Amino acid sequence: MEYITLHNGMQMPLLGFGTFQNTGEDCEKSVYTAIQSGYRLIDTAQAYGNEKQVGKAIKASGIERNELFIVTKVNFPSYDDTEQVVLESLEKLGTSYVDLVLLHWPFGNRYAAWRTLEKLQETGSIKAIGISNFEPDQMIDLIHFNKVIPVVNQIETNLYCQRQQEHQWLQKYGVAHMAYAPLGQGHRNEMFAQPEIVKLAKKYEKTAAQILLRFFTQQGIIVIPKSIHEERIKENIDSFDFKLTIDEIAALRNLDKNEPLIGKSENPEFVEFAMNW
């Protein structure tokens, strides 16, 4: 595993386990398998409805709490009740502290929620606080009008949506770039068949998924691929034993289409998601 040092000095693994759309027994089993396979960063959210299962898997793993880096998220309908819902997350996860809590979306009363997270961080029940799905202008505004700078912004990032410009804004403010949907949520299987990816997979004797993940971790971007299959869980973490060259990284950067799958208004799934809140 490789690590990134956050602006507050905490070390965060560059690869973790995502748990979106993973609930019930599948979630418990896959989180357990991930921990046994060496994952130490687990990404969950109140909105995923799986914090209890994540907590059970952590307990069953027997791993020391201080070896894990647990991330959860408060969602915007709860922003006015942030303190209460964070305490509920702690209880569901079976832990006395969470390493990182994010504001899930830049909607609703996000400044009130952020100030509550700042306060909770002072009490020690949260070690670090961050944001998700914030556009650069929203992030900069939040930074200028509050005390604590977010340690990460978790944003959709994959081969076809690399966020190269956003990355520069994040670097300028010392906010780490955390990539969600690094494998394009599996909808975008053409990423796996992209000729440059196939060529590199052959050269390094790795899989397309491993090339896609390494492309980001080598740039200091944290990735959190999700899978419910043991062989893929193991495959995804086994992506640190090779290095792409500078030219190969440049070639992959040229494949960026700047096309998010999630969170764009013309995406019908997102419109339905937003309308249902």
- Residues with a catalytic annotation lie at 48
Q: Is the dihedral of CA 132, 167, 142, 148 positive or negative?
A: positive
β-sheet bridge partners, residue 103: 74, 131
Fill in the per-residue mask, 65 to 104: x = in contact with ligand NAP (CB under 6 A), - = not in contact. ---------------------------------------x
Q: Which is nearer to ligand NAP, 116 or 184 (CB)?
A: 184
Check binding of 225 to ligand NAP (CB under 6 A): yes
Q: Which is nearer to ligand NAP, 116 or 260 (CB)?
A: 260
CB of 224 closer than 8 Å to CB of 178: yes
Fill in the per-residue mask, 11 to 30: x = in contact with ligand NAP (CB under 6 A), - = not in contact. -------xxx----------
| Alpha helix positions (H), 124-194 | 136-144, 164-173, 190-193
Min dist. Cβ of residue 62 to ligand NAP (A): 23
Degrees to nearest 5, angle at CA 60 with 209 and 31: 20
Among 32, 39, 69, 180, binds ligand NAP (CB under 6 A): 180
Q: Which is nearer to ligand NAP, 169 or 270 (CB)?
A: 270
In the complex, residue closest to ligand NAP by CB: 18
CB of 264 closer than 8 Å to CB of 157: no
Q: Which window, 52-60, 62-70, 214-222, 223-231, contacts ligand NAP (CB under 6 A)?
A: 223-231
Check binding of 166 to ligand NAP (CB under 6 A): no
Binding residues among 103-162 for ligand NAP as defined by CB under 6 A = 104, 132-133, 154
Among 101, 235, 239, 248, binds ligand NAP (CB under 6 A): 235
Check binding of 46 to ligand NAP (CB under 6 A): no
Size of site (CB under 6 A) for ligand NAP: 26
Lateral strand order in the sheet of 98-103: 17-18, 41-43, 69-74, 98-103, 126-132, 152-156, 176-180, 222-223
Among 115, 186, 251, 255, binds ligand NAP (CB under 6 A): 186
Let me know if 50 is exposed, middle or buried by CB neighbors in 10 A (0-12, 13-18, 19+): buried
Min dist. Cβ of residue 246 to ligand NAP (A): 25
Distance of alpha carbon 189 from alpha carbon 192, whole angstroms: 5
3-state secondary structure of 162: coil
Distance of alpha carbon 270 from alpha carbon 11, whole angstroms: 33
Residue 154 sits at φ, ψ, to 5 deg, of -90, 115
Site residues, ligand NAP (CB under 6 A): 18-20, 43, 104, 132-133, 154, 180-186, 209, 224-229, 232, 235-236, 262
